[in-house]
Amino acid sequence: MTRSDANAALDSRRADSSAVEPRIRLGDLFLSTYNAPEARASYTGALRLDSKQARALLGMANVLTFEGSGQAVAAVRASLAANPTLAPAEALLARHQLDAEQYDSA
């Protein structure tokens, strides 16, 4: 995400405080710059608006993965429950399974 994308997301969030997508995009931006606390806050805001939003759940899973939390796999599974065809969530789950040497599952 570029700086102009971030500015657009901020403008969109200001224009419509009930919009989920800008919060997810900001979370993605924060996580891409290794700012897990701000990413978590953005994804949490999105999930407050839509608790079943698959990309926001995936964002939280990425934050938990970044932080080394054991809850990351459960968060990925929640994301896949919300959208079973979300490819980035499938890839993250497979990564966790490979790290745990669960090769058949991966």
In tens, the pLDDT along 29-49 reads 999 999 999 999 999 999 999
Residue 45 CA neighbour count, 13 Å, CB half: 19
pLDDT in tens, 7-27: 655 554 455 678 999 999 999
User: What percent of the chain clears pLDDT 70, i.e. is strictly above it?
Assistant: 85
Q: What are phi and psi of 59, to 5 degrees?
A: -60, -45
57 pLDDT tier (thresholds 50, 70, 90): very high
Closest CA to 2 of 43, 24, 33: 33
